[in-house]
Chain A
Amino acid sequence: MVLSEDLVQRALDEALSLGASYAEVRYQRDEVSEVALRNGNVIGFGKNISEGVGIRVIVDGALGFASTNILTIDEIRGTVEKAINRARALAKLMKEPISFSEERVGRASYNVIPKKDLSELSIEDRITLGVEIHKSIINTVKEVKVAVTAFFIRDHTQEKLIINSDGAYIKSYIPRLSLTLNFVLAHPQKGTLQRYVSYGASGGSELIKEWKPEEEIVNEVKNLERVLLKGKEPPKDEIDVVVGPEVVGLIVHESAGHPMEADRILGREAAQAGESFVKPEMIGKYRIGSELVTIVEDPTIPGSYGYYLYDDEGVPARPRYLYYKGIINEPLHNRHTGKIFGVGSNGAARAMDYKSEPIIRMSNTYFKPGNMEFDELIEDIKLGVYIKSFMEWNIDDIRWNQRYVGLEAYIIRDGEVREDEPVRNPVLEITTQGFYSRVTGVDKNLRFYPATCGKGEPAQGVPVWIGGPNVRVSRIRLGVRV
């Protein structure tokens, strides 16, 4: 940390002396390194170091935020003044003055300590991994061509010091590693098929061995070649559909996580990421899904991509049950929405970098697994479709009308996944309640996937995990991609 803690404290004192009723100073340093390869050839190596302070204040009931990366006493003092003066100047437009919930904020320091430091994964090793994965893909395909592969490996270390006028002192260090691969398979008659796949977690270079990306990708390429060559349209009738962990993770992120962000419920993001179908009066009462539907949001999962122990307002992190046994249960709160709802914060405030105001974000969101084996989940399905992965997806801005287009998918016939009957581009287009109320089975095979969740203005991308087990949904009519 290049900035002295004394200077951080002085910024806080300055804000209070200028009339802030609440003040918070966050020093944050993010360092990212990335190697990019195309078709096993190096494109380049990139490094991004972002470091500065973000200052947030409440003045006359208005919220102000200002940041700078010019870390001199004068500049930081000027930044404090700017946060205060500009918030104060617009305070006359406030109809409902902003205040924060009372919280028992933390005084703590924590680090994620990798089993093997990120630096032990040398640049040569990273390049070799990309080259080997490219070769494996080329060597795996039989009848199709590989039009292109693109490989990115990136590490990210994040260091924060947060203090606020309620006594919080949170110091943290989190290293992360991620790997992303894009490839296009092409056939003169069948067209092309594209796959974008990612791995990511907090930790160090040991993660590569845990992920075994080469092994997984070889299997996937084999399967996707079959989908491209032999894939048929899905059945037109209502059938049972089994959705794999990758797709389930995305569905719960989009249609349970986002609509349960309390700032959306209140309309704070209305013009950007949107609002929510969830209304305050639905919480604790409204049935959105079957008894099998429990969606958990938990920043404290060790090794997770969205890991943290205290949020950026100093509130301790804990698991939140967004939907519990099919009932809308607990939204994600920061100290502002926690005050409005009268329930306090549950530690969901995160900022992407020093330039970003902390806002309500997900961390690691997953569909709670059940007790069944996969075979039990599908044993009584006469005709169905298993959707294992996806490419295209989107959801409306109240998180109700959503669409997922499968990539690797198969017919299920008489209780068996038929790998010899692949399905091409099945479209699951359904409402949130339509999906969760049709859940009739959940297996025990929980798996997580990394994602970068976007929200806010300026847009903030934060690392999250999305996950779930295999989930069976009944009475589904799949569409066909035009």
Chain B
Amino acid sequence: MELIHNAKKALNRLKIRFDDVAIKMILKDSVMVKIWNNQISVTQSWKTIESRIYLAKNKRILELSLSLERPEDIVKVCDEMSKYVNVMKESEIYAPLPEPMTYKPLKDLTDARIHDYMDNPLPLVEGLISSALDNGAQRVAGTLELSIERKALVTSKGFEGEEEGSEVMCYLRAFKGDVSGHWAFGSRRVNKESIEYVGRKAAEIATLSKGKVSVKPGKYDVILSPLVVGNLLNDVAMMASGLYIMMGFSMFMKFKIGDVIASDIVSLYDVPRNIELARSTSFDDEGIETYDKPIIERGRFTNVLHNVKTSSKLGGKTTGNAGWITPLPWNIELKPGNYSEEELIREVRRGLLITNNWYTRLQNYVEGQFSTVSKDAVFYIENGEIKGYTERIRIADTFVNLLRNVRAMGKTQYLIRWWEVRIPSKVPYLLAANVNITKPYA
């Protein structure tokens, strides 16, 4: 399909009536296999085309997302929208779209094997299930998703760009008795080994237990698995968005660039140029070339994620993270340390290994007060040894406490994406001290 051709055709008609126009068309073809009780619950397939449109006139901003492809249909809806321009007020964040810039296209964003597996995912699904069952799991549930996405972007300033990429997301939860283990993988590239690793690792966690122990609420040293690290840092990275800061949904409201907000071994990056990760892209929605950048560098708050609007409002330059209205992280990476996973466990005198979590919610974004519940196995560690698995517990602390108390980082980074890690993440295990743990009293 001629995405860019259709986008340009619509653009040419709309730019007569608006000061700024940007059109992003996305064609996505995907298949998802869901697994429960060692079998398939449903196989889902999607083919969608979406047109996202940004319009501005006299500093009034409109943003549209339409299930439309034909230029004349898009223009018709936009024409209807133009009546709102007269009754809207100037946007507080308006800034003109940027002048077009050249960008270095990322290569190898598409893995042809994903295309092949989309028509026949059976070998991957069989491998995923059997790798867990063969390693001691009694039952499994999970998801395998494969997709190919093509996007075209044109702006009234003259930017034109087109890009295609593939994606795999795979996660599996393995059960043995009362205990479950969970692992996940997300990338632009797929092979059978990486899928089978997910099953093996989930089973390994589910079968690691040495009997049940009960823990009391209080402060513990905790080792967080890459799934937990990914989940919590997704929230931290989102809060670095300039618009989130402006709207009161960010702990970074309280901080200035350069403030120490984490231990000096914490370096968290937004990495749109890492082609291993699924949201890697050469250009953002305003046509700005993307680049990798720290959000936190050696413990210091380093960058707000900006588009031209938030940067003009808050100061600084765009960081290539548009979203026309909301800048967002593309992919995140937490830089690794020197520890093997066994060495991290050996560092702990009295603590917990939390292998997975879910339901992270905040009492107050500005203070970064959050809690999150363990989802799969939590192991109690004493004097460097795992003593058994515990009941479900909760981390209830603040993000700043947690980040400032990071003591050690694993040396292996994992590519994680799953239901609770929506931003593709390349993250290691980490060890943090004095983390507040709670559980129900009755």
Contacts and interface: CB of A to CB of B under 8 A. Distances in A.
Chains A and B bind each other: yes
Nearest to A63: B42
Contacts of B81: 47
B172 to A, nearest CB: 7
A44 B91 contact: yes
A49 B43 contact: no
A93 B65 contact: no
B364 A401 contact: no
B206 to A, nearest CB: 12
Contacts of B61: 42-45
Given A63-B41, A268-B36, A401-B394, A46 B247 contact: no
B34 interface: yes
A41 B67 CA distance: 30
B413 interface: no
Given A38-B247, A394-B373, A397-B375, A45 B88 contact: yes
A389 to B, nearest CB: 12
A91 B121 CA distance: 12
Given A65-B42, A270-B36, A429-B439, A70 B49 contact: yes
B252 to A, nearest CB: 13
B363 A83 contact: no
Interface stretch (A8-16, A122-130, A156-164, A368-376): A122-130
Contact of B366 (A192, A269, A396, A407): A192
B247 A458 contact: no
A357 B32 CA distance: 12
Interface in B340-367: 358-367
A65 B31 CA distance: 10
A419 interface: no
A69 B67 CA distance: 6
B143 interface: yes
B396 A191 contact: no
Interface stretch (A110-118, A202-210, A297-305, A474-482): A474-482
A49 B68 contact: yes
A184 interface: yes
Contact of A394 (B46, B60, B371): B371
A459 interface: yes
A60 B178 CA distance: 33
A403 B249 contact: no
Interface in B72-98: 77, 81, 84, 87-93
Contact of B62 (A47, A395, A431): A47
Given A41-B92, A47-B64, A395 B371 contact: no
B394 A82 contact: no
Contacts of B66: 47-49
A46 B46 contact: no
Interface residues of A, number: 95
Contacts of B166: none
A403 B440 CA distance: 8
Contacts of A149: 248
Contacts, number: 281
Contact of A45 (B62, B65, B175): B62
B382 interface: no
A271 B141 contact: yes
A194 B364 contact: yes
A75 to B, nearest CB: 7
A7 interface: no
B370 interface: yes
Interface string A92-125: 1111100000000000000000000000001110
Contacts of B369: 392, 481
Contact of B248 (A184, A270, A458): A184
A90 B363 contact: no
Contact of B43 (A42, A62, A92): A62
Interface in B106-139: 120-122, 125-126, 129, 139
Given A45-B84, A391-B362, A68 B394 contact: no
Interface string B24-43: 00000001111111111111
A234 interface: no
A430 interface: yes
B176 to A, nearest CB: 13
B53 to A, nearest CB: 9
A403 B361 CA distance: 10
A479 B43 contact: no
B67 A430 contact: no
Nearest to B126: A93
Interface string B123-162: 0011001000000000101110000000000000000000
A46 B47 contact: no
B253 to A, nearest CB: 7
B397 interface: yes
A126 B359 CA distance: 33
B62 A481 contact: no
A446 B132 CA distance: 48
A268 to B, nearest CB: 5
A266 B41 CA distance: 11
B65 A49 contact: yes
B91 to A, nearest CB: 5
Contacts of A148: 246-248, 253
Contacts of A237: none
A271 to B, nearest CB: 4
A51 interface: yes
A399 B421 CA distance: 21
B46 A355 contact: yes
A147 B254 CA distance: 11
A182 interface: yes
Given A49-B77, A69-B67, A396-B373, A123 B44 contact: no
Nearest to A75: B47
A472 to B, nearest CB: 16
A193 interface: yes
A10 B36 CA distance: 32
A39 B48 CA distance: 37
B442 A430 contact: yes
Nearest to A407: B363
Contact of B46 (A68, A92, A93, A95): A68
Interface in B320-337: 325
B255 interface: no
Given A93-B125, A267-B141, A394-B361, A66 B65 contact: no
Contact of B363 (A63, A425, A475): A425
A179 B361 CA distance: 21
Contacts of B68: 49
Contact of A65 (B43, B49, B171): B43
Contacts of A434: 440, 442
Interface string A254-283: 000000000000111111111000000000
A409 to B, nearest CB: 13
A270 B358 contact: no
A86 B45 contact: yes
B12 interface: no
Contact of B35 (A79, A271, A392, A479): A271
B436 interface: yes
Contacts of B370: 392
B63 interface: yes
20 contacts: A41-B89, A41-B91, A45-B62, A47-B81, A52-B48, A52-B67, A66-B45, A75-B47, A92-B122, A93-B129, A96-B37, A148-B247, A149-B248, A194-B364, A267-B141, A269-B36, A270-B141, A391-B364, A401-B394, A458-B32
Interface of B: 31-50, 60-69, 77, 81, 84, 87-93, 120-122, 125-126, 129, 139, 141-143, 171-173, 175, 182, 246-249, 253, 325, 358-367, 369-375, 391-392, 394, 396-398, 419, 436, 438-442
Given A44-B62, A274-B375, A405-B371, 16 more contacts: A41-B91, A45-B60, A46-B65, A49-B65, A51-B67, A69-B50, A93-B125, A148-B253, A192-B364, A266-B36, A271-B172, A396-B374, A400-B392, A401-B373, A434-B442, A481-B363
